[in-house]
Amino acid sequence: MIKQKNGQIWIETVLYTLIGLALIGAVMSFAYPKINETREKILIEQTIASLHAFDEVVRNVAERGPGNVRSFDMTLKKGSFIADGKSDKVSITINGLTKPYSEPGVEISNGPVTIKTEEGNQFFNVILILNYGSNINITHEERDDSLTISPSPTIYRLLVENRGIGNNLIIVDIHE
């Protein structure tokens, strides 16, 4: 009789443990996508704030006159940073998002930052753009080239330098 109760206790223990694990798994299956969605939204909002700070550095350098140099420290956890000298734009593209940040295909403005969400096959891509075409000529190492920065856990130090005026535009050089 004692052996039978011992066996029953073990069966109940295993059964309750399995039920508990199943409940934890069910809760996590609902919570995990929401956690990822919130992480992605926070990442985009931090990136927008970083672009606002970068824009402030570029505009301060442009206002202060030729020879003015400022450094900008940036950590890029996800996405790619591109300073495009041909189109005079600075952008960060974040790929592989599970939910759209804004309505796909529609550009919206957040101060100087233009936000555009593109729909891919399974994921969404968000492009954050600073457009300087009207009054600032963006260059990389004194040429109309592009500077591309990939995600890295290390801090990037970008130097933003006013190189004077050319073609009625203030030349701002961005380099590492």
What number of residues does the chain have? Answer: 176
- Mean pLDDT on 117-130: 93
Confidence of residue 5 (pLDDT cuts 50, 70, 90): low
Q: What is the mean pLDDT of residues 156-164?
A: 93
Give the residue-averaged pLDDT of 24-42.
Answer: 88
pLDDT of residue 31 exceeding 90, the answer is no
For residue 144, is pLDDT > 90? no
Task: Give 37's contacts (C-beta < 8 A, 6+ positions apart).
Answer: 98, 99
Q: Between 97 and 167, whose confidence is greater?
A: 97
What pLDDT score does 1 carry? 47
Which among 49, 52, 55 has a CA at the least distance from the CA of 70? 55
Supply the pTM of this predicted model: 0.82
Mean pLDDT, the chain, rounded, equals: 90
* CA end-to-end span of the chain: 79
Q: Residue 28 has what pLDDT?
A: 86
Residue 159 CB neighbour total at 10 angstroms: 13
